[in-house]
């Protein structure tokens, strides 16, 4: 079963650290691990895994115990460009990066 989230306001570099930890875990084990992790990305990936588990239960009548994370992919989303004014009328660009998360569970 699949679940995805788009344009989350966190950089893909920070989210990939969390995705690397839960890759190839069972869904139940990943949810337990992410619940106590003190990172913003852990909450986001926890919600995506929870959504995929609920999709598998509701749509395919699968058991939670047998579900495993087969793939989790974090890619770059839109980049919001902001400007920080500096001296002499110049400006520096600030990049507010976003992420896409695609998750696939297998039985």
In the numeric block, which tokens belong to residue 82?
């902001």
Longest pairwise C-alpha distance within the chain? 64
**Each residue's pLDDT tens digit, 36-82:** 999 999 999 999 999 999 999 999 889 888 999 999 999 999 999 99
Domains of the chain, residue spans: 2-106
CB 45 within 8 A of CB 18: yes
Residue found under tokens 């839960």: 22
- Give the three-state DSSP class for 84: strand
CATH topology of domain 2-106: Ribosomal Protein L22; Chain A (3.90.470)
Distance CA 31, CA 1 (A): 16
**Each residue's pLDDT tens digit, 29-43:** 999 999 999 999 999
């Amino acid at each position: 079963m699949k679940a995805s989230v788009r344009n989350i306001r966190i950089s893909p570099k920070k989210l990939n650290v969390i995705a690397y930890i839960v890759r190839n875990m069972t869904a139940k084990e990943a949810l337990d691990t992410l619940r106590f992790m003190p990172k913003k990305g852990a909450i986001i990936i926890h919600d995506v895994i929870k959504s995929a588990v609920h999709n598998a239960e509701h749509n395919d009548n699968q058991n939670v115990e047998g579900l495993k994370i087969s793939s989790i992919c974090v890619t770059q989303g839109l980049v919001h460009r902001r400007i920080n004014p500096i001296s002499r009328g110049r400006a520096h660009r600030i990049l507010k990066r976003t992420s896409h998360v695609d998750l696939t569970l297998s039985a």
